[in-house]
Amino acid sequence: MVDLSIDCAGIKSPNPFWLASAPPANSGGQVQRAFDAGWGGAVWKTLGQPIQNVSSRFGGHDVRGVKAAGFNNIELITDRSLEVNFREIYETKKKYPKHAIIASLMVETREEWKDIIKRSIDAGADGLELNFGCPHGMCERGMGSAVGQEPKVNQEITSWAVEYSTVPVLVKLTPNVSDILPHGMAARRGGAHGVSLINTIKSIISVDIDRFVPEPRVGGLSTNGGYCGAAVKPIALHMVAQLARHKEFGLPISGIGGVSNWRDAVEFILLGSSSVQVCTEVMLRGYGVVEDMIDGLESYMKSHGFSTIAEMVGKAVPQYSEWGNLDLNYETVAKIDPQKCIGCQLCVAACQDGAHQCIHPQGSDLAKKLGLTVLGAGPAGERVPVIDESECVGCNLCKIVCPVPDCISMVEVDNGYAPTTWNEHVSQGKDLRPKKGAH
């Protein structure tokens, strides 16, 4: 039996999957349908002085046939009245007492923070999330990422919120900074109970090349927006891990950014997230995506012997280190499984032009000269390429481009050299293995 329930900074929910503050968490009707579909919590669409949105407001970055691999928006915070939002939070919390409802907030003055925090808690919010992250529209008004980019302001507003709140306070951080650490630490100094990250990344998604206007187009103009969706996951993972591994940080993290499936969620948890928030994947495919996320997480936990989420949180953090601590003598080479290869030659092009020129068409002059042959004929016959392992630097590129799962594997080579890091090489003069691919 595995237990999916979590406690993230004192906010409890039946599973780690929360809707991020965004259109899918805009209203009571939506959040209730999401809870019925299986979501464990919801961070309500940011509350503040209701705004007027523009039309259009979203853009998609399609990559080689994959629609909206990246997503962009120029939407602001809630456009609905605070009264309506608070009434719906109250009704939803009453109906779903075990699910987490977190009120995302963004206002300006100390008095406004005091007032909106009281009203959120009166409405039944289990926690607050301070939106210091929105990179468009609100920052021009001195809110959102304008706060998140200034550690002093972040700390001060966080301390007001903590003073007025009787429920846990999460600070939502902006990724539009060169180093996330000072901003996480500012939230910590302000007394935050946890942080959530990332909000969206400043971006221009594309340009209408006939009208000469960037997208999304509002009449004849556009503006920069916030980038999110599957494409931002690597950036989000890095920022989460940066905080998780810092010895003095120590706050719970709610991980956000490009989570599209259970595996992404597991990665966020292993790098230090106690809960995982999702926006774009739900916008593109609906609340039902949580079913597979729950099933996949449960199977993963069973197969890896985890009985609680807490046991998983941060498991990969100690293995995230500096480049200078990596073993320079560790060596791998690529191997092709001729039974799986379909002979597409993608790996040949990639290695020839983008790596170290050591994959060759079978039967080519060079392959003949080097005496390279394929062991065991496969269905692709002579179209299975050959690898000159003596020149392979183990970079992974061929494995990345190969369309067939597990056709190319990176195999560890025992080269007789003891593990040596750059730091050890410099400080103790330890031997490095001979360079490959430097011809």
Which residue, 265, 325, 268, 250, is CA-closest to 299? Answer: 265
Is 370 a binding residue for ligand SF4 by CB under 6 A? The answer is: no
The secondary structure of 335-396 as a DSSP string is EE-TTT-----HHHHHHHHHS-S-EE-TT-HHHHHHT---SS--TTGGGS-EE-TTT----S
Residue with tokens 């230090």: 272
Is 213 a binding residue for ligand SF4 by CB under 6 A? The answer is: no
Is 31 a binding residue for ligand FMN by CB under 6 A? The answer is: no
Q: Which of 197, 341, 372, 386 binds ligand SF4 (CB under 6 A)?
A: 341
Is 394 a binding residue for ligand SF4 by CB under 6 A? The answer is: yes
Nearer to ligand FMN, 155 or 196 (CB): 196
Is 310 a binding residue for ligand SF4 by CB under 6 A? The answer is: no
Q: Which of 229, 314, 338, 385 binds ligand FMN (CB under 6 A)?
A: 229
The secondary structure of 80-130 as a DSSP string is S-HHHHHHHHHHHHHH-TTSEEEEEE--SSHHHHHHHHHHHHHHT-SEEEE
Is 45 a binding residue for ligand FMN by CB under 6 A? The answer is: yes
The secondary structure of 17-40 as a DSSP string is EEE-SSGGGSSHHHHHHHHHHT--
Provide, rounded to whole angstroms, the least separation between the CB of residue 421 and ligand SF4.
22
With the C-alpha atoms ordered 147, 149, 153, 156, is the resulting torsion angle positive or negative? Answer: positive
Query: DSSP E strands: which ranges in 221-358?
Result: 225-228, 253-256, 273-278, 332-336
**3-state SS track over 190-203:** CCCCEEEECCCEEE
Question: Among 28-36, 225-233, 291-299, 380-388, which window interacts with ligand FMN (CB under 6 A)?
Answer: 225-233
Provide, rounded to whole angstroms, the least separation between the CB of residue 419 and ligand SF4.
21
When CB distances are held under 5 to 8 angstroms depending on the partner's kind, the choice from ligand FMN, ligand SF4, none that residue 336 binds is ligand SF4
Is 415 a binding residue for ligand SF4 by CB under 6 A? The answer is: no
Pair of tokens at residue 79: 């456009």
Is 386 a binding residue for ligand SF4 by CB under 6 A? The answer is: no
C-alpha–C-alpha distance, residues 331 and 410, integer Å: 9
Q: Which of 89, 278, 333, 393 binds ligand FMN (CB under 6 A)?
A: 278
**Helix 262-270 and helix 289-304: axis angle, to 10°?**
50
Q: Which of 192, 334, 372, 386 binds ligand SF4 (CB under 6 A)?
A: 334
Question: Among 73-81, 202-210, 317-325, 332-340, which window interacts with ligand FMN (CB under 6 A)?
Answer: 73-81
Positions annotated as catalytic residues are 134
Tell me which residues touch ligand FMN (CB under 6 A).
20-23, 45-46, 71, 73, 75, 77, 104, 131, 133-134, 172, 199-200, 228-229, 232, 256-259, 278-281
Tell me which residues touch ligand SF4 (CB under 6 A).
334, 336, 341-347, 350-351, 355-356, 358-359, 385, 387, 392-398, 401-402, 404, 407-408
